[in-house]
Amino acid sequence: MAGTTFKKTVKENESPKVSYKQIIKLMREKPLICTSIIADNKKDFIELVKNAADGGADLAELRIDFLKDKAPQNITEIIFKSGLPLIITNRNKESRGTFPSGNESLRLALLYYSINAKPAFIDIEYVIEAKSRTEIIDAAHKNGVGVICSHHDFQSTPTSEKIIEKYEEVCETGADVAKLVYTPHSREEVVNILQAVETVVKLDKIPSTIFGMGDVGQNTRILSPVIGSCMTYCALNADSKSGLSQLSLKDTKELFDLLATKKGWKALRKEHKDVLSAAMEEYLSTYSYPYGMGQIIEQ
C-alpha cells in the first residue's frame, strides 16, 4: 500500500494500534513517509496530523520542544489522539530545536515519560551521554516502543567511509533505526551520502535513513529511499524557512507513488547503481529533482 498505511486502524481520534516491529518490517519492503508536524498546541497538532494522514503520510513526528504545554499529560493525550503512528522527538537548541539549553535532565525526562504513552518510536540523539541513551533505549523496548537513534551534522558532509562508521556506531547502541543527516555543499558530497546508503543497505544491520539537509541535499530525500533508505521526512507544505529544505508531503507522495507504479520498489532498488550514477549528473530537471530522477520516472 502507498501511504496512509496505518491510518485510523481503530477508533476515531485514537492512535493506530500498530507495533514498531510491524512498521520496521514494512520499512524493509518500501520506504515510508514521515511528516514533521510543527505545532505549539494539542488541537493544532492533531488537526495537522489528520491532514498528513489524508495526504498519504505513513508516520508523523511530534516535536515536544515546540509545544507550549509540555506537561506529561498533554503529551500523552496528543500521542493517544494522533491519527498516525508517531515518532516523538525533543530537540535542544544545539540540535536546532527550541528546548532551552542547560536543562538536559528535563528534556530527556520528557522524552522518557512519553514512552509510557506507547508511541511508535522515540528519537534519541546519538550525541547524548551513553548511560542516559542506554537507559532510554532499554525503557522504550520494555514498553514496546521502537527507537530511532539520530545523528545530525548541520555544517558539513564527511566521506562515505565516515558516514558508514557512524552507522556502525549507531547500530551498537541497540536502537532499531539509524537516522544520519548531513549538510552537503556540492554534488560530490551528495554522492558521498548516496554511496554510504548503498553500502549500509548491503550491511543490513538495522534499517537506516541517511540524507542531506539544505538545498543541495534536498534531492537525497528521494534518492536515498530509492537506493534503500527506510523512510524519508517531509513537511506538510514546502519548507523554505527552516533551512532543512524539506519537500512537501504532496510532492513526496506523488513522486513515491509514481516511482512505485512505474517499477515497484523491489525492482527499482535492484537498479540502484544506475540511480547512483545518475545522481552525479548536473541538477537539471523539473521540480529541482536531479537529471537521473527524471530518467527513472520516464522509464
Helix (H) or strand (E) holding 143, with range, is none
Task: Report whether 180 contacts 210 (CB < 8 A).
Answer: yes
Which SS3 state, helix, strand or coil, does residue 210 take? Answer: strand
Amino acid 287: pLDDT: 38
Q: Quick one: 294 exposed, middle or buried, by C-beta within 10 A (0-12, 13-18, 19+)?
A: middle
Using one digit for the tens of pLDDT, what is the confidence trace for 82-139? 999 999 999 987 777 778 777 888 989 999 999 999 999 999 999 999 999 999 999 9
Q: What is the CA radius of gyration of the chain?
A: 18
Q: How far is CA 262 from CA 116, 227, 266, 297, in A?
A: 42, 16, 11, 7
Amino acid 261: pLDDT: 81
Query: Grid coordinates standing for 168?
Result: 556502525
Superfamily of domain 20-249: Aldolase class I (3.20.20.70)
C-alpha closest to that of 194 among 250, 115, 278: 278
Amino acid 267: pLDDT: 84
What pTM was computed for the model? 0.88
The full set of domain ranges for the chain reads: 20-249
C-alpha closest to that of 35 among 51, 57, 8, 7: 57
Residues of the chain with pLDDT under 70: 1-16, 239-244, 272-299
Amino acid 7: pLDDT: 56
Amino acid 294: pLDDT: 47
